[in-house]
Amino acid sequence: MTTLTEAPETAAARETPARRRRRVDRLPYLLLLPCLVIIGVLLLWPLGQVVVMSFHQLNNVRQLRGDREWPWVGLGNYAEILSDPFFLTVLRNTVLFAVANVALTMVLGTLVGLLLNRLGRRMAAFVASCVMLAWATPALTGTIVWKWIFDDTSGLVTWLFNALPDGLSQSLFGRSDWTGYGWFNSPLLFFSILTLVVVWHSFPFIAVSVLAGLKSVPSELHEAARVDGAGPWKVFWKITFPLLRPVFGILIVLSTIWDFKVFTQQFVLAGGTQDRPTFMLSIYSYAEAFSPPPKYGLGAAIAVILTLILLVVTGLYVRMVLKQEEDA
User: In this structure, are residues 184 and 269 in contact, taking their beta carbons and an 8 Å threshold?
Assistant: yes
User: In this structure, are residues 180 and 202 in contact, taking their beta carbons and an 8 Å threshold?
Assistant: no
Q: Model-level pTM?
A: 0.83
User: In this structure, are residues 175 and 168 in contact, taking their beta carbons and an 8 Å threshold?
Assistant: no
pLDDT value of position 112:
92
Give me the tens of pLDDT residue by residue for the chain, a chain 328 residues long: 445 454 555 555 555 665 555 555 777 788 888 888 888 888 888 888 889 988 988 887 777 777 778 889 889 899 999 999 999 999 999 999 999 999 999 999 999 999 988 888 888 888 888 888 888 889 999 999 999 999 988 889 999 988 888 888 888 888 888 888 888 888 999 999 999 999 999 999 999 999 988 888 887 787 787 877 777 888 888 888 888 888 888 899 889 989 998 999 999 998 888 888 899 999 999 999 888 888 889 999 999 999 999 888 888 887 877 776 666 5
Spatial CA neighbour of 90 closest among 299, 282, 257, 268: 282
Burial of 28 (0-12, 13-18, 19+ CB in 10 A): exposed
User: In this structure, are residues 184 and 193 in contact, taking their beta carbons and an 8 Å threshold?
Assistant: yes
Cis previous bond, 293, omega within 30: yes
The residue length of the chain stands at 328
Domains in the chain, ordered, with CATH? 52-83+294-327 (no CATH), 84-291 (1.10.3720.10)
**How many other C-beta atoms lie within 10 A of the C-beta of residue 234?**
13
DSSP-derived letter for residue 294 is P
Spatial CA neighbour of 147 closest among 93, 183, 94, 178: 183
Please report, for residues 34, 35, 48, the alpha-carbon distance to residue 42 in angstroms, rounded to integers and kept in the order given: 12, 11, 11
